Homo-oligomer: A and B are copies of this chain.
């Protein structure tokens, strides 16, 4: 991982300031596109645009792909459609080209498309843009080595030399029949280790793992992970080979997906980074805090209904944080287990009731231990048997409630095709907190 030293940055900036192109090009030559992208993030837009003009088109396009979406959009805004078509899109593989195209406004998209020289690539991009962004079709590329099952391996090698010219990297060779249906796959290595006249169909692995164009991205990721492959072929509804997805695109997806779950669980509503501005961060964070405030005011209103009890027994108030906090902690745990199980495929919505049952088991053990310990503590240190009993009873009820509630809510969301991760974090904490207070005050009313 390239880390830019302050010295390097200062030197580079002074070169930019003095417009010393040759020196700048020399420094850039040693850097990988991903590193140059990282460098752009340290520069301002003008500086980055100056640097971008110094790179050859191929490398400049690669850098653009590596940039994060916001930065890329800003740089693209300043480029004319013709330059985007010829200097960017034409230099990229189709999956990256589609990524860039999606950042453009629709009218500019049209204009860029009309200016792409390579008609085949333009056609592929138009087709790919039709797929939903969250499906295999939306992230696949069309660059692959495709051979017919009836060819000989020697013919394959010849054909591959033609096809592979324009491709960055190749991991597998895909085998189709005369109707373009995917029949098999073999690793590139076999072209070298199995030369000669034997037909492709005898060398290939049959029934290869594949995904459909409408397979959701998270399932694509699970497939690639499960079978430990570096690329997966994509077929249409009648089994014709239409594209391939490589592991690097999916790995970003795995990380983004789990970061998203983690952020939602932490009460952050949009994808933000520590590098985002104060305003962006506030926008992503304030909504959940306000919902929390709403919950707090709801608790206050509920407690207000019991104000006379609190006046007679002020010691009741001491245990409000204990009850509410425990409810929140338990609810978060339960929902996290469900959300994670659904995300990594170990939990199926079909087994929902089994999960609720198991969770009830865990809840009963936790509730028993917790309320017993608190009972013992209060019995020795709190000189009020009625409150001691009320606190332990409420704790027991709250733990049971929060466990089952935290399990059922994400399962229900999943059933209605809503992202279950929405149900973790603040939502569960706040609800468990309110219900906890309600249960506690209710029990106190009865016992005191």
Residues of A within 8 A of B (CB): 1, 30, 32, 34, 38, 157, 160-161, 164-165, 167, 169-171, 187-189, 191-193, 207, 209, 219, 222-230, 246-248, 251-252, 254-255, 258-259, 261-263, 265-268, 272-275, 278, 281-282, 285-286, 288-290, 292-293, 295-297, 299-301, 303-304, 307, 310-311, 314-326, 328-330, 332-333, 335-338, 340-341, 344-347, 355, 358, 361-362, 365-366, 369-370, 373-374, 377, 399, 424-426, 429-430, 433-434, 437
Contacts of A323 in B (CB 8 A): 296
* Contact yes or no, B225 A358, CB < 8 A: no
Bound-complex Cα distance A263 to B34 (A): 31
Q: Which residue of B lies closest to A279 (CB)?
A: B365
Bound-complex Cα distance A164 to B195 (A): 14
* Contact yes or no, A169 B189, CB < 8 A: yes
* Contact yes or no, B230 A340, CB < 8 A: no
* Contact yes or no, B188 A164, CB < 8 A: no
**Given A38-B226, A191-B192, A332-B425, list of 5 further CB < 8 A pairs?**
A228-B248, A273-B341, A321-B321, A321-B324, A324-B325
* Contact yes or no, B273 A329, CB < 8 A: no
Most chain B CB inside 10 Å of its own CB: which residue of A187, A289, A335, A399? A289
Copy tally for this chain in the complex stands at 2
Q: Which residue of B lies closest to A34 (CB)?
A: B226
Contacts of A344 in B (CB 8 A): 255, 259
* Contact yes or no, A227 B278, CB < 8 A: no
**Nearest CB on B from A278, distance (A):** 4
Contacts of A321 in B (CB 8 A): 295-296, 299-300, 303, 320-321, 324, 433-434, 437
Contacts A333-B266, A337-B268, A340-B263; is A318 near B293 (CB within 8 Å)? Answer: no
Bound-complex Cα distance A366 to B290 (A): 9
Contacts of A345 in B (CB 8 A): 1
* Contact yes or no, A314 B307, CB < 8 A: yes
* Contact yes or no, A333 B225, CB < 8 A: no
* Contact yes or no, B209 A32, CB < 8 A: yes
Bound-complex Cα distance A1 to B362 (A): 30
Bound-complex Cα distance A48 to B295 (A): 50
Most chain B CB inside 10 Å of its own CB: which residue of A207, A285, A433? A285
Partner of A189, one of B188, B247, B254, B377: B188
What would 25 A/B residue contacts be, using CB atoms closer than 8 Å?
Answer: A1-B226, A30-B207, A34-B226, A169-B171, A247-B247, A259-B340, A262-B262, A263-B336, A266-B335, A268-B333, A273-B341, A289-B326, A289-B366, A289-B399, A292-B325, A292-B329, A296-B326, A311-B311, A314-B317, A316-B317, A320-B320, A325-B328, A325-B430, A325-B433, A328-B429
